[in-house]
Amino acid sequence: MNLENIKKIDPLVADEIQKEFERQQNTIELIASENITSKAVLEACGSVLTNKYAEGKPYSRFYNGCEHVDIIEEVAQERACKLFNMEHANVQPHSGAQANMAVFMYLLKPGDKVLGMDLSSGGHLSHGSPVNFSGMYFDVKSYGVDDFGCIDYENVRQMALEHKPKLIVCGASNYSKIIDFKKFREIADEVGAYLLADIAHIAGLVAAGVHPSPAGYAQFVTTTTHKSLRGPRGGIIMCDMEHARGIDKAVFPGMQGGPLEHIIAGKAVALLEASKPEFKTYAEQILKNAKALAQGLMDEGMEIIGGMTENHLMTLDLRKTSRTGKEMANVLESVGITANKNTVPNDPQTPFVTSGIRLGVPAVTTRGFKEDDMVEVAKIIASAVYSADNKSGLKNLRERSLKLCKKYPLYKG
């Protein structure tokens, strides 16, 4: 990495950036919400566009000198609409949570009823958690999953009929099955609710056509750009044209000020990359790698919530071991695998401890890992669970993970 200018001004920050690069280079990244952007995306995000303030929308700004960022943002909007088959896109939200906030702000008044997925069952904070704005200011009822880790659509329907929400939220932060957007829309129509599909995790899979799309079913679609879509950290809102003006006003001036035009440029680049045939090949490999990891773990005696995954992630259920999610996340990090602790359905542990580990494969797939590599990763994880107290055994596992990392450099050339 070229950090010469930072080294001259701020050696401390330069040193930590270099160390972070080395950490990523020498770590098997299995955090499902992380990925590795292209060099082109990195260049866009680190460009002179960071200097530009541009409140408003393209060609309708509150600042002069926006002629170039106008074109870039407009292109990003057009690419998002084309890629996801939606009528309107706002690419300004700084995150997926803020994208969801804008939809809530546009559609709802404080106290309005919302039906969203429970956080402990795989939903997101912004789908109605009581510690988040969505749960603080709105009357949220939460649906979960059954004993097999699957959404019970009839239960969702019965809850919708009982509570008559104005908005139903589908999509998840930790759900390993295909989401039936058509069924959700049927439920929403039955009770007169709007449907918001949060596809933050599966956006890359949807874009590549390897997961069903919410287009045509959800009036509102939100996503992050930094997970399976492999772009910069940020959010996008897409909607039917009749809601475009209201959504745009909810983003600015309703929710945030000036957009991050350098990040929007990164989004534009990533959206173009996601439209290429090689991205479809990448998404297909994600599914292959996820299945190989899940099967490899089960072959080693591990339990996966819901069994075989249908997308990019899975949850390792530790309840029948003597380990907790918090403990194993730290043990895995010590052997060169980064993952995050996660709750499981009906978790006996607190959210700060948990009985599960969430695992995702977009980042390692970007690096070039294939199915055989994922089997080796599964063996390392299982061995770490079984021998978490064996320091010499853990050292051997670290050597095995490092060997895989050296096989697939973070950036080639």
Look up tokens 């929308």; give the residue: 57
Nearest one of 186, 185, 261, 274 to 223, comparing CA atoms: 274
Nearest one of 294, 287, 276 to 228, comparing CA atoms: 287
Residue 73 burial (10 A CB sphere; 0-12, 13-18, 19+): buried
Look up tokens 């069994």; give the residue: 307
Among the options 7, 34, 53, 386, which is catalytic?
Answer: 53
Among the options 157, 185, 227, 230, which is catalytic?
Answer: 227
DSSP 117: E
The verdict on whether 74 is a catalytic residue reads no
d(CA 64, CA 56): 11
The verdict on whether 224 is a catalytic residue reads yes
d(CA 241, CA 250): 15
The verdict on whether 233 is a catalytic residue reads yes
The verdict on whether 365 is a catalytic residue reads no
3 token code pair: 């950090």
Query: Which residues are bridge partners to 235 per DSSP?
Result: 224
Among the options 73, 198, 273, 347, which is catalytic?
Answer: 198
Among the options 79, 185, 230, 233, which is catalytic?
Answer: 233
d(CA 179, CA 108): 24
Nearest one of 126, 190, 194, 199 to 153, comparing CA atoms: 190
d(CA 207, CA 70): 24
Q: Which residues contact 346 (CB under 8 A, 6 or more apart)?
A: none
d(CA 364, CA 288): 12
Among the options 223, 224, 343, 366, which is catalytic?
Answer: 224
Which residue spans within 285-382 are E strands per DSSP? Answer: 303-304, 313-317, 337-338, 340-342, 356-360
376 token code pair: 């080796």
Residues 190/160, Cβ–Cβ less than 8 Å: yes
The verdict on whether 227 is a catalytic residue reads yes
Our CA angle for 150, 151, 154, nearest 5°, is: 130
Asked whether the CA dihedral 213, 290, 232, 117 is positive or negative, the reply is: positive
Among the options 7, 34, 55, 249, which is catalytic?
Answer: 55
Q: Which amino acid is at 289?
A: N
Residues 203/225, Cβ–Cβ less than 8 Å: yes
Residues designated as active site: 53, 55, 198, 224, 227, 233
